[in-house]
Structure 1
Amino acid sequence: MSRHLARYGVVVIALVVLCSCAVRLGYNTLNFWIPYYLSDYVTLTSSQKQVFGTALDQALANHRRQELPKIHRQLMALQTSLIEPLSYGGVRYYHDVFTRLGQDSAAMLAGPLAAVVKTFSSQQAGEMSRKFEARLNEILTERDPLSAAEKQRKRAARLADRAEDWIGRLSPEQRKLLEELAGYQVEMEPVFVSVWQDFLRNWSQLLATRAQPNLEGRMRALLQDLVAFRYPAKQAELDFYLNRRFELLSRLHHTMTERQQRHLDEKLTSLRKDVAVLINES
């Protein structure tokens, strides 16, 4: 569910690219991919494309100059911390650190989005709201026939694929832990859906009030809440899920072999070097 829903938030593209193995190519083509994904949900005029493109180029330049050095420093700090298995507190600490970095990225992308949304006609605002809602309904319909056990198996397989990319071949014990995490996520699916439904309602409200003052600030707050998964109506349940996840990831780290530790360190080193190159290209 979350993998598909991430496609809704244009800001999430930047965060996904930073975690990919083609980070430099991906980052340097964000000024193409972000408008491309936006075009799935609203048809812009040529002048609107220019407004958005100009504002996006400036935001990406600011992000490269201001945010990439922060990401580089935290990747280096994480590598140092990973010399020893992370405790529950350590996992939580780095979750909070990288969540804040994601929120900072969201804040920068609020500017270009607000700049173009201000120019929307009523027809464009309606188009975007309808297409967002239709996409969510499509995803829910696709998943509806699946049993909880089927959802857990599929999610566990995806988690295992991602984990093997980062740490190498998994042991049976590690796969069992990921199955447990997948179970937590399936239990939380109704809450995750509620978060996205609430986000879409709030986004539609932003579109309807786009002529009112401080659109950028309101949009920034909404995107930052999405990145942090802040949802007051269900916050206690979300916090409980996160605490379970932190504890499980700490257990997982304590099962890692020296070979897996080296694999993870090499992946993080490659990512950190790519970020350093991007910084120096500015």
Structure 2
Amino acid sequence: MKKTRLPLIIVFSFLLSACSTSFVYNNLDWLLYWYLDDYITLTAEQKSQLDDRVETWQAWHRAVELPKYQQQIDQLRNQLQSGPLDQQAWLLVFDEVQQSAKRLREKIAPELAELAKQLSPAQVEELLTEWQKNTQERIERRTNSSPEERLAERQEERIEEIEDNLGKLTPEQKDIVSSHIKKLKSTFEYRTAYQTRLQGIVKDLFNHPEDENFSSQLSALIIDPNQYKTAEHTALSEQNKIQYAQMMADLNLTLSTKQKQKLDESLADLSQTIQALVED
């Protein structure tokens, strides 16, 4: 339900500070409730049951997934030290991140679907209402801005995020980022239709929670919501991912020694943080 960040931002999310990474990971329970509170009010019993599941999921994630993350980050670090990564190499990095997210969804989906069966009709209505409200708010924000304003905002946001991890960009590097962002195809209309489609599917499912196929169908939706995207939406998203990968490759060729060092230090710090989380 939450707007998904683009591939570039997913990759650079690896470069969070050690402090914030540890804080977020070790406080997933109340951060989850903070997020859910925007959509649904859980009962004390439902929170208790979810607490148990989150604890189990986190133990699995700490033991199974975090070592994979550390390996991927160390591999990326070695690749960057050996030389610039080309478009195909960055696409593989994006794919690893997406596969990590899929493994997590596959782990939690069956149990989450079972917990969802306990939602009351009033809770389901609250969820759908807030979901639709958020979708409408995004439409209104877009309506109140021009294409030029939205483009400038996206360019500025990407530059700031990259500078957080590389240091100040040169004019040439800023031009690289801006030119690639300009080539991205808008998927807003497709995403809005996709959200509406998902809302309808979820509503239909919860109309019959007693159905013997309810849990399996909801679980399949959680694992692969992209199955409900149109072919055109999927194709545009793939084109944008390729564009991002090329931007990363082009930018990679221009990095100064200082920028390379800062990026390497960020990756090394994150790898150490993950190691500490595994051993915690």
TM-score if structure 2 supplies the norm length?
0.87
Aligned partners of 1:241 and 1:90: how far apart in 2? 16
**Deviation (angstroms), 1:200:** 3.3
Q: Is 1:45–2:46 an aligned residue pair?
A: no
Is 1:241 aligned with 2:240? yes
1:261 is matched by which residue type in structure 2? Answer: K
1:30 corresponds in structure 2 to 28
Aligned to 1:225: 224
Q: RCO greater where, 1 or 2, for CA within 8 Å and sep 6 or more?
A: 2
Contact 2:112 2:219 in 1 (8 A): no
Amino acid at match of 1:82: L
Kept after mapping to 2: 8 A contact 1:181/1:248: yes
State the one-letter code of the partner of 1:238: S
Distance in 2 (alpha carbons) for counterparts of 1:6 and 1:32: 21
Q: Give the equivalent residue in structure 1 for 2:62.
A: 64
Query: More deviation in 216-225 or 14-23?
Result: 14-23
1:138-197, Cα deviation, whole Å (9 max, x unpaired): 122122111111001111111111101111111112112222233244633333333433
Q: Residues 38-66 of structure 1: CA distance to partner in whole angstroms, max 9, x if unpaired?
A: 12211111111111111111111111111
Distance 1:230 1:90, change over 3 A: farther
Amino acid at match of 1:25: F
The DSSP-based 3-state class of the residue aligned with 1:211 is coil
Aligned equivalent of 1:148: 147
Cα pair 1:177 1:252 within 8 Å, conserved = yes
TM-score where L is the length of structure 1? 0.86
Among candidates 13, 20, 42, match of residue 16 of structure 2: 20
The CA distance in 1 between the partners of 2:107 and 2:11, in whole Å, is 12
Cα distance in 2, alignment partners of residues 244 and 173 from structure 1: 18
Q: How far has the Cα of 1:265 moved from its partner?
A: 0.7
Change over 3 Å in CA distance of 1:223–1:175 after alignment to 2: farther
Mean Cα deviation higher: 256-265 or 102-111: 102-111
Return the offset for 1:68: 0.6
Structure 2: 5+ residue stretches without partners? none
Could you say which residue in structure 2 is the equivalent of 1:114? 113
- Report the Cα offset of residue 244 of structure 1: 1.8
Query: Contact (CA 8 Å) 1:56, 1:112: kept in 2 or not?
Result: no
Q: How many residues align structurally?
A: 272
Deviation at 1:230, TM superposition (A): 7.6
Compute the displacement of 1:276 (Å): 0.7
Q: Distance in 1 between matches of 2:58 and 2:49?
A: 14
Change (3 A) 1:96 1:255: same
Does 2:268 align with 1:269? Answer: yes
The answer for the alignment partner of 1:103 in structure 2 is: 102
The more displaced of 123-132 and 230-239 is 230-239
RMSD: 2.7
Equivalent residue, structure 2, for 1:187: 186
